[in-house]
């Protein structure tokens, strides 16, 4: 939809200009004009005394309104790769995609750009029935424009009803472009994916209003239904060497545009040394530590259990520990084998980022802390008494 001004009715009273919160209405040649900043909030529709501002359907809307969504079948996963190796989030999404595809009785296929056929074979072992592979070395380093062109073309040609990718820096960068180009709905940062009972609509579940509620979002009128999913939210299924599939080689579209070229990629040294998303054991501290020295004690415990340090947003905001340790909605989503929460009350925003951990151990002096609702094991008490006891016992067991 678009907001348009009927110039024959406009009297240049400027009432609409004052009402627009986005500064999207200006005077142009003595008449009101709606520019590219319009967010379709529709406030101006009710304030114009002459009724000169109207909401109209554009050509694409008309096209979409008659689109046969029944022509769309299948589940597609964009398999992100870094330095030629498929990222773990791709395998997680294949597990989720396999479950959705089986429920819909359709094919699961993946799109892989900039990697070799050996990596495409790995995707088949993890559940893909078909892999569309573009092994062009120009795609090894991520670039918005060619990625958007290729993925959009695959979707247009093969019409999947559901399209998934990771809510990573790459996924968040180019997937909105694909959705905008296809006029499709996109739900970001999902934590759960389901299929509507008795239907084929994707139920994309994600935190909303600062993590205080979980919203279920549907796109019933357009296809494909697109979603990005945070890494470590979905559990990987088992790899099967018996699963078979096909690899289809594709090329960069001849009419594709690429105005930029990646010359060099620089790695963040802190990110490389501290990647809590890959840790199998995480010892996290929150505001309950009371001061930054508490993390020195937690670090000792983490080292004893071959783990790494995590933190709640409250601890990071206090400046007690760097941001790259933060777990939660505004930090990293993790799924370790063991997550030890020390002095963390369990705000929804934090629990969203760690609730899929295999085992959760909570230490808090408040017996009513929400963290205990999801913990496998809970200890009510002073962490400055309990953690030293744990450290001492582990040292004794190790001699």
On the question of pLDDT at 272 being above 60, the answer is no
- Cis before residue 397, ω within 30 degrees of 0? no
Using one digit for the tens of pLDDT, what is the confidence trace for 296-339? Answer: 999 999 999 999 999 999 999 999 999 989 999 888 889 899 99
Between residues 259 and 112, the one the model is more confident about: 112
Alpha-carbon distances of 93 from 121, 170, 266, 314, 329, rounded to whole Å: 16, 15, 27, 30, 19
Nearest residue to 54 (alpha-carbon basis) of 13, 112, 115, 8: 8
Separation CA 281–CA 156 (nearest Å): 43
Nearest residue to 280 (alpha-carbon basis) of 310, 308, 238, 239: 308
Using DSSP's 3-state secondary structure scheme, residue 82 falls into strand
On the question of pLDDT at 269 being above 70, the answer is no
Backbone dihedral angles phi then psi of residue 48, each to the nearest 5 degrees: -70, 115
What is the percent of the chain where pLDDT is above 90? 65
Using one digit for the tens of pLDDT, what is the confidence trace for 366-385? Answer: 999 999 999 999 999 999 99
pLDDT of residue 65: 45
- Degrees (nearest 5) of the Cα angle 155, 158, 160? 65
pLDDT of residue 332: 87
Using one digit for the tens of pLDDT, what is the confidence trace for 201-221? Answer: 999 998 887 667 788 999 988
Band (pLDDT 50/70/90 cuts) for residue 133 is very high
On the question of pLDDT at 152 being above 90, the answer is yes
């Amino acid at each position: 939809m678009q907001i348009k001004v009927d110039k024959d009715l406009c009297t240049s009273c400027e009432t609409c200009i004052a009402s627009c919160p986005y500064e999207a209405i200006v005077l142009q040649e003595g008449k009101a004009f709606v520019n590219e900043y319009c967010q379709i909030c529709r406030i101006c529709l009710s304030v114009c005394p002459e009724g000169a501002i109207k909401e109209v359907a554009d050509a694409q809307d008309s096209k979409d309104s008659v689109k046969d969504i029944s022509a769309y079948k299948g589940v597609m996963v964009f398999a992100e790769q870094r330095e030629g190796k498929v990222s773990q989030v791709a395998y997680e999404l294949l597990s989720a995609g396999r479950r959705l595809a089986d429920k819909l009785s359709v094919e699961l296929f993946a799109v892989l750009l900039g990697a070799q056929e050996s990596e495409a074979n790995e995707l088949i072992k993890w559940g893909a029935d078909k892999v569309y592979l573009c092994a062009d070395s120009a795609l090894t380093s991520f670039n918005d424009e060619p990625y958007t062109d290729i993925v959009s073309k695959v979707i247009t040609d093969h019409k999947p009803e559901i399209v998934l990718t990771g809510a990573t820096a790459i996924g968040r960068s180019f997937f909105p472009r694909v959705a905008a180009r296809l006029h499709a709905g996109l739900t970001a940062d999902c934590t759960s994916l389901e299929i509507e009972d008795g239907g084929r609509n994707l139920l994309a579940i994600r935190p909303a209003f600062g993590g205080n509620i979980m919203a279920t979002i549907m796109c019933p009128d357009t296809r494909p239904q697109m979603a990005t999913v945070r890494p470590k939210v979905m559990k990987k299924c088992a790899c099967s060497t018996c699963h078979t599939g096909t690899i289809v080689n594709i090329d960069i579209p001849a009419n594709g545009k690429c105005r930029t070229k990646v010359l060099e990629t620089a790695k963040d040294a802190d990110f490389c040394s501290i990647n809590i998303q890959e840790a199998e054991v995480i010892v996290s501290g929150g505001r309950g530590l009371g001061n930054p020295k508490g993390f020195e004690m937690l670090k000792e415990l983490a080292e004893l259990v071959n783990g790494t340090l995590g933190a709640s947003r409250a601890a990071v905001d206090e400046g007690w520990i760097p941001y790259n340790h933060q777990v939660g909605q505004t930090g990293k989503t993790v799924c370790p084998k063991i997550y030890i929460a020390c002095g963390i009350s369990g705000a929804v925003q934090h629990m969203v980022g760690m609730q899929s951990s295999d085992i959760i151990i909570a230490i808090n002096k408040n017996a009513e802390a929400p963290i205990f609702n999801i913990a496998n094991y809970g200890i009510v008490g002073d962490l400055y008494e309990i953690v030293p006891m744990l450290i001492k016992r582990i040292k004794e067991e190790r001699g």
